[in-house]
Amino acid sequence: MSQDKQSLTGIEDSTNQPTTLFKKHRKIFFTLFASLLIIGAIIGIVAGVKTNNKTDTVSASSPSHAIIKHSCSTTRYPDLCFSAVASVPGVTSKLVTLKDVIEISLNLTTTAVEHNYFTVEKLTKRKDLTKREKTALHDCLETIDETLDELHEAMEDLNEYPNKKSLVQHADDLKTLLSSAITNQETCLDGFSHDSADKKIREVLSDGQRHVERMCSNALAMIKNLTDTDIANELKLSGTNNRKLKEEVGTDQSGWPEWLSAGDRRLLQSSSVTPNVVVAADGSGDFKTVSDAVKAAPSKSSKRYVIRIKSGTYRENVDVSKDKHNIMFLGDGRKTTIITGSKNVVDGSTTFNSATVAAVGKGFLARGVTFQNTAGPSKHQAVALRVGADLAAFYECDMIAYQDTLYVHSNRQFFINCFIAGTVDFIFGNSAVVLQDCDIHARRPNSGQKNMVTAQGRSDPNQNTGIVIQKSRIGATGDLRSVQGSFPTYLGRPWKEYSRTVVMQSDISNVIHPDGWFPWSGNFALNTLFYGEYQNRGTGAGTSKRVGWKGFKMITSATEAQGFTPGKFIAGGSWLSSTTFPFSLGL
> Has residue 468 got a pLDDT over 80?
yes
pTM above 0.75, yes or no: yes
Going by the DSSP 8-state scheme, the letter that residue 488 receives in this structure is: -
Which letter, b or e, does each residue of 344-355 get, where b requires 16 or more Cβ atoms within 10 Å of its Cβ? Answer: bbbbbbbbbbbb
User: Please, what's the largest Cα pairwise distance for the chain?
Assistant: 75
pLDDT value at position 57? 57
pLDDT value at position 224? 97
> Has residue 434 got a pLDDT over 90?
yes
The pLDDT of 450-461, averaged and rounded, is: 98
Is 286 annotated as catalytic?
no
The pLDDT of 231-240, averaged and rounded, is: 80
Is 507 annotated as catalytic?
no
Per the model's pLDDT, the better-predicted residue between 569 and 257 turns out to be 569
Measured CA to CA, the distance from residue 120 to residue 34 in angstroms comes to 17
Which letter, b or e, does each residue of 255-271 get, where b requires 16 or more Cβ atoms within 10 Å of its Cβ? Answer: ebbeebeeebbebbeee
The pLDDT of 90-106, averaged and rounded, is: 88
Q: Single out the residue of 378, 354, 321 nearest to residue 17, CA to CA.
A: 354
pLDDT tens readout for residues 475-528: 999 999 999 999 999 999 999 999 999 999 999 999 999 999 999 999 999 999
Give the number of residues written for the chain.
Answer: 587
SS3 percent helix, strand, coil of the chain, rounded to 5, is 35, 20, 45
> Has residue 21 got a pLDDT over 50?
no
> Has residue 33 got a pLDDT over 80?
no
Measured CA to CA, the distance from residue 585 to residue 587 in angstroms comes to 7
Which letter, b or e, does each residue of 501-527 get, where b requires 16 or more Cβ atoms within 10 Å of its Cβ? Answer: bbbbbbbbbbbbbeebbbbbeeebbbe
Q: Is the dihedral of CA 256, 260, 265, 269 positive or negative?
A: negative
> Has residue 236 got a pLDDT over 60?
yes
Peptide bond into 257 cis (omega under 30): no
Instruction: Kindly give the interhelix angle for 98-123 and 32-51, rounded to the nearest 10 degrees.
Output: 110
Give SS3 for 228.
Answer: helix
pLDDT value at position 153? 97
Measured CA to CA, the distance from residue 305 to residue 314 in angstroms comes to 20
Going by the DSSP 8-state scheme, the letter that residue 274 receives in this structure is: P
Measured CA to CA, the distance from residue 186 to residue 413 in angstroms comes to 19
Lowest mean pLDDT among 42-51, 272-281, 460-469: 42-51
The pLDDT of 240-245, averaged and rounded, is: 50
Going by the DSSP 8-state scheme, the letter that residue 258 receives in this structure is: T
Residues 491, 532 contacting (CB under 8 angstroms)? no
- CA angle 447/398/535 to nearest 5° reads 80
Q: Which residues contact 307 (CB under 8 A, 6 or more apart)?
A: 275, 276, 277, 278, 279, 290, 293, 294, 297, 327, 328, 329, 330
Out of 425, 437, 507, 515, which one is annotated catalytic? Answer: 425
pLDDT value at position 25? 43
pLDDT value at position 582? 95
Confidence of residue 241 (pLDDT cuts 50, 70, 90): low
pLDDT value at position 90? 82
Measured CA to CA, the distance from residue 4 to residue 14 in angstroms comes to 9
> Has residue 2 got a pLDDT over 50?
no
Q: Which residues contact 570 (CB under 8 A, 6 or more apart)?
A: 412, 413, 414, 432, 433, 434
Lowest mean pLDDT among 263-277, 544-558, 566-580: 263-277
Out of 404, 439, 479, 515, which one is annotated catalytic? Answer: 404
Residues 534, 561 contacting (CB under 8 angstroms)? yes
Strand partners, 272: none
Q: Pinpoint the alpha helices (H) of 127-240.
A: 131-160, 167-190, 196-238
Q: Which residues contact 161 (CB under 8 A, 6 or more apart)?
A: 99, 170, 174
Confidence of residue 45 (pLDDT cuts 50, 70, 90): very low
> Has residue 55 got a pLDDT over 60?
no
Confidence of residue 291 (pLDDT cuts 50, 70, 90): very high
pLDDT value at position 9? 41
Average pLDDT along the chain = 88
Q: Considering the chain, what percentage of its residues have pLDDT values greater than 90?
A: 78
Confidence of residue 91 (pLDDT cuts 50, 70, 90): confident
Confidence of residue 265 (pLDDT cuts 50, 70, 90): low
